């Protein structure tokens, strides 16, 4: 496969004699698209060359579409997700890409999403696995297809759900990565060096407040960028967060986080608010709302192993280790299902063992017996 020069980053596939144009999909999405045109590499050297090609891709995003059939149905389903289910635009775009990829796979079998059977859905998942797509990405695509066919079934457009007996990949549940408390403390100290100076600038105050909120509230990065000034109640030590599906929840803030936010709002944000009418809490030096990517880079500068989501995992893990019950952590993180929160009991295994030894009547030997 060779790269053709030009503004659209075209790739010419020698094996299939096809010109490809890749938007800024994720690595797994690009790998899946390549697999529809290129057979699985036969040996390790060929696999390595494919990996290098995938890693070089990076151009603007362009949502996929079901090119020949099902455009109307797809639009109706996406409207259902946005309006009735209340899903975020980014989530709807991810579902659209997954459905488009599935439709492209079916074109090779001369089938359509409306008429696909269990064998074709299973073949699609096996095809992705054979071409190196990670298990979690495959599980997400299967979840997308399940939602799509459930909607079709409830709307009486099909008579059978082809995904009903399919199992998700076994590695779907992965233990979350969390930082040690000492590592989080170093990050906070590093962010606070400039912010604690008597002549600290607005950027330093903002950066410290962001890091404190990521850890203190365990919020998602998209929830943080969507916060407005009116969502804060510093006197009560809490904030209003809008999570997945536009569900609102109250998140408490500790004293240190409240102090960092108060310093930013009173001394830092007025210097950054150059645009009138901008209500977002965290602003750039140009007065615009910060992006998720910018916050990701900020956290990486403080610790290469960290990320905004690792900070969220660290918040939950440290709370469980210090005795918080799962229902409280579930409410704090905004998990719809308690099973999502239960994974932190495996991470905080030391705490789990200590509680078991302290409360189970046969956990320890007594009287030398």
Is 164 within the bounds of a domain? no
Is 280 within the bounds of a domain? yes
Rounded to whole angstroms, how far apart are CA atoms 228 and 318?
27
Using the CB atoms, write b or e for 239-272: b if 16+ within 10 Å: bebbbeeeeeeebebeeebbebbebbbeebbeeb
Token couple for 308: 């905004």
Structural domain of residue 258, as residue ranges? 181-355
Is 175 within the bounds of a domain? no
Q: What are the tens digits of pLDDT across the range 89-109?
A: 888 889 999 998 998 898 888
Cα 349 to chain centroid distance, Å, stands at 25
Structurally, the chain folds into a number of domains equal to 2
Q: Order across the sheet with 248-252: list the strands.
A: 232-233, 238-242, 248-252
Is 368 within the bounds of a domain? no
pLDDT higher than threshold 70 for residue 157: yes
The verdict on 143 and 8 lying in the same domain is yes
Is 326 within the bounds of a domain? yes
The verdict on 14 and 131 lying in the same domain is yes
Q: Percent of the chain beyond pLDDT 70?
A: 76
Q: What are the tens digits of pLDDT across the range 177-236?
A: 889 999 999 999 999 888 888 777 899 999 999 999 999 999 999 999 999 999 999 999
Residues in the chain: 369
Instruction: Give the per-residue pLDDT at 200.
Output: 78
The verdict on 18 and 111 lying in the same domain is yes
The verdict on 146 and 23 lying in the same domain is yes
Q: Taking the CA atoms of 341, 129, 152 and 246 in sequence, report the sign of the dihedral they define.
A: positive
Q: 0.95 cut: is pTM over it? A: no
Is 347 within the bounds of a domain? yes
- Catalytic site residues? 220, 244, 309, 312, 335, 344
Selection from 291, 336, 318, 302 nearest residue 216 by Cα: 318
The verdict on 254 and 334 lying in the same domain is yes
Q: What are the tens digits of pLDDT across the range 284-306?
A: 999 999 999 999 999 999 999 99
Which residues 6+ apart lie within 8 Å of 78 measured at CB? 92, 95, 96
Token couple for 312: 């969220």
The verdict on 80 and 186 lying in the same domain is no
Is 217 within the bounds of a domain? yes
The verdict on 186 and 133 lying in the same domain is no
Of 210 and 243, the one with more pLDDT? 210
Is 47 within the bounds of a domain? yes
The verdict on 94 and 210 lying in the same domain is no
pLDDT higher than threshold 60 for residue 49: no
pLDDT higher than threshold 80 for residue 128: yes
Rounded to whole angstroms, how far apart are CA atoms 83 and 95?
15
The verdict on 204 and 348 lying in the same domain is yes
- CATH number (domain holding residue 293): 1.10.443.10
pLDDT higher than threshold 90 for residue 115: no
Rounded to whole angstroms, how far apart are CA atoms 252 and 258?
10
């Amino acid at each position: 496969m060779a790269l053709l020069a030009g503004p659209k980053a075209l790739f010419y596939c020698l094996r299939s004699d096809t010109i490809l144009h890749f938007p800024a999909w994720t690595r797994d999405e690009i790998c899946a698209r390549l697999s529809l045109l290129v057979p699985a590499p036969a040996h390790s050297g060929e696999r390595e060359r494919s990996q290098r090609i995938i890693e070089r891709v990076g151009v603007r995003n362009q949502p996929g579409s079901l090119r020949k059939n099902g455009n109307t149905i797809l639009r109706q389903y996406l409207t259902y997700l946005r309006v009735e289910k209340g899903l975020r635009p980014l989530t709807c775009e991810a579902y659209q890409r997954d459905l488009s990829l599935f439709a492209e796979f079916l074109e090779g079998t001369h089938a359509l999403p409306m008429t696909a059977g269990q064998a074709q859905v299973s073949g699609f998942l096996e095809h992705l696995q054979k071409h190196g797509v990670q298990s979690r990405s495959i599980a997400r695509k299967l979840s997308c297809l399940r939602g799509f066919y459930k909607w079709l079934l409830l709307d009486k457009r099909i008579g059978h759900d082809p995904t009903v007996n399919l199992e998700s990949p076994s590695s779907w549940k992965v233990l979350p990565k969390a930082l040690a408390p000492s590592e989080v403390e170093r990050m906070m100290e590093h962010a606070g060096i400039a912010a604690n100076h008597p002549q600290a600038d607005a950027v330093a105050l903002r950066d410290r407040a962001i890091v404190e909120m990521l850890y203190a509230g365990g919020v998602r990065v998209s929830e943080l960028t969507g916060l407005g000034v009116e969502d804060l109640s510093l006197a009560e030590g809490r904030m209003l967060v809008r999570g997945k599906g536009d569900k609102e929840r109250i998140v408490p803030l500790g004293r240190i986080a409240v102090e960092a936010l108060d310093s930013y709002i009173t001394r830092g944000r007025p210097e950054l608010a150059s645009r009138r009418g901008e209500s977002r809490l965290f602003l750039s030096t140009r007065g615009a709302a910060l992006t998720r990517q910018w916050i990701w880079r900020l956290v990486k500068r403080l610790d290469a192993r960290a990320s905004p989501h690792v900070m969220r995992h660290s918040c939950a893990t440290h709370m469980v280790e210090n005795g918080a019950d799962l229902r409280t952590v579930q409410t704090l993180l905004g998990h719809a299902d308690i099973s999502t929160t239960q994974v932190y009991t495996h991470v905080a295994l030391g705490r789990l063992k200590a509680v078991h030894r302290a409360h189970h009547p046969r956990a320890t030997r007594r009287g030398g017996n």
